[in-house]
Amino acid sequence: MLKESLISEFQKIVGKDNVLTSPEALKAYSYDGTTSWVHEPDVVIFPTSTDEVSRIMKLANAEKIPVTPRGGGTNVSGGSVPWHGGVVLVMTKFNQILKVDKENLTATVEPGVVLQDLTLRLAKEGLFFPPDPQSFLGATMGGIISENAGGPAGVKYGVTKQYVLGVEVVLPSGEVIHLGGRTLKNVVGYDLLHIFISSEGTLGVITKAELKLNPLPQARKTLCVVYDDVSIAGEGVFRVLENGVIPCKIEMVDNWVINRIEEMMPIGLPKDADACLFFEVDGIPEVVEKEAQKIAEITKQYGAKEARIAPNMDEANKYWLARRAGFAAVFGKAKQVFAEDVTVPRGNIPKFVKKIRELAKKYDVEIVVLGHAGDGNLHPAVLTDPANKDHYERALKAVDEIIESAAVEFGGVLSGEHGIGLEKQKFMRKVTEPAVINMMKGIKALIDPNNIMNPGKIWE
């Protein structure tokens, strides 16, 4: 519990309506997009300006009260859960798109702007922000930057860090700083901007961002490529790339997921296929046509059973709807799902999916694959039920081994786009060199000596 006097100080800063302390509100801000990480804050505050954030931080710092910034709360790592209580700083009302600059292909946004709102606004100007975390309907820009989010488009366009030119940050002391700038090139001293990107809210509060944009591609084309063997599908991914086509998305669904999707919304995916790859190419219409045909040729040459080029947008949309439904299909089928975020170098995808299959057999648990194959970010998901102790134990062991094999055996990382938060801490400690963790701690201590910014996360 916080002192009454402190609550009224917060109220003076943001107004009474923007400070919540009811048990219901505290419960509603105790979770994020994960299943099992829950902790209530002591107070929920909605700032709407940099100045308000700065004044809140000064107060919190003086009182050494934890502050956890939060946007749409769509993250899947426990990152925005206020693990040590204190303040949840909700940025959803701090949400203006300040500027769209067509000449420089940039946009200036406040942290609470929802990605989909930005996308719709930019589309009017013929522009887009390429990183596409699949939480785009709820995820806010502050969170997207703090988590360095990515999505299917990563294969061609990369992830958030490649599209942030500068940020305004309120430090735990309340001081306001500006990192990066508005230019494409910028080598003025240490690249501190990129320490804040993916810092998961542990260093400061992002209050403004300058984003790099691309012109919206004129055309898109989608393919559904069918495989008898998931490993051959994995190979298809890099064969297409090495033969000179860079699709904007390459997504994989395995047999289990295909069948769940077909149960939920029959769209005619081949139920007997071991896996399907969904490709999307985008760009100039003539090029897109050619690229789609080329993908069909290459994948068939390398063992695909069938390559369907979607004849129109309706069919294309069906495939992407199915792909998006895949995640829900998985979650709907088990009491608990460990949705892993491991990422391997693309060349190792075939070996890695084979390994996943072996582990499923070894531990006798369902492990399904639906992920961004194009960048090696496969999202294997282990299905289990905490009530079935024996099964749960086996599932945990399978998770351990998936992460270990991905990160060690196949030269990958334990998280590609979700971040560490609370969910991946124990693995982070396992696979990260102690000196690296110490360096992170040192940076944290320098910027946040009182450890008030989103404490309890990442390496703890």
Partner 1 sequence: MKDLKELKKIEEFSNQCMKCGFCSFFCPVYQEEKMETSVARGKNYLVKQVLAGKQEFTHEMADIIGKCLLCKRCAANCPAKTQIDRVVVAARAQLVKEKGLGAIKNFAFRKVMADRKAFGKYARLMQKFQWMMPTTEGKIKHLPDFVKGLGKRNFPSLAKTFLRDQIKPVYKPQNGEKPKMRVGFFMGCATDFVYPELGLKLIDFLTRHGVEVVVPEDQNCCGAAIYFSGDLETGRMLADLNIKAYKDLNVDYIVTACATCSSTLKDYQKYLPDTEEQKERYTEFEKKIKDSTEFVIDILKIPPEEFKLRKEFEGKTVTWHDPCHLVRYQNIKDQPRVILKALKGIKYVEMPNADMCCGMGGSFSVYHYDLTKKIAGKKMDGIKATGADIVVTACPGCMINLIDNVLLNKMPQKVHHFLELVE
- Residues at the contact surface with partner 1, assessed by CB under 8 A: 20, 22-25, 27-29, 31-35, 46, 72-74, 90, 92-93, 95, 112, 114, 116, 135, 137-138, 264, 324-325, 327-328, 331-332
Closest-CA residue to 71 (of 122, 32, 124)? 32
Which CB atom, from 88 or from 233, has the smaller least distance to partner 1?
88
Which CB atom, from 70 or from 305, has the smaller least distance to partner 1?
70
Residue with tokens 């997207």: 144
Which CB atom, from 302 or from 392, has the smaller least distance to partner 1?
392
Instruction: Provide CB contacts within 8 A for 446, sequence distance 6+.
Output: none
CB of 358 to partner 1, least distance (A): 28
Which CB atom, from 88 or from 167, has the smaller least distance to partner 1?
88
CB of 27 to partner 1, least distance (A): 6
Which CB atom, from 48 or from 106, has the smaller least distance to partner 1?
48
Residues 55 and 57: their CA atoms lie apart, in Å, by 5
Residue 205 has, within 13 A of its CA and on its CB side, a CA count of 40
Residues 27 and 345: their CA atoms lie apart, in Å, by 40
CB of 34 to partner 1, least distance (A): 7
CB of 215 to partner 1, least distance (A): 23
Cα 431 to chain centroid, rounded: 21
3-state secondary structure of 326: helix
DSSP for 297-320, please give it.
HHHHHTT-SEEEEPSSHHHHHHHH
Which CB atom, from 112 or from 236, has the smaller least distance to partner 1?
112
Residues 456 and 200: their CA atoms lie apart, in Å, by 11
CB of 51 to partner 1, least distance (A): 19
CB 309 within 8 A of CB 292: yes
CB of 355 to partner 1, least distance (A): 27
CB of 136 to partner 1, least distance (A): 9
At residue 251's C-alpha, the angle toward residues 249 and 255, to 5°, is 165
Which CB atom, from 128 or from 327, has the smaller least distance to partner 1?
327
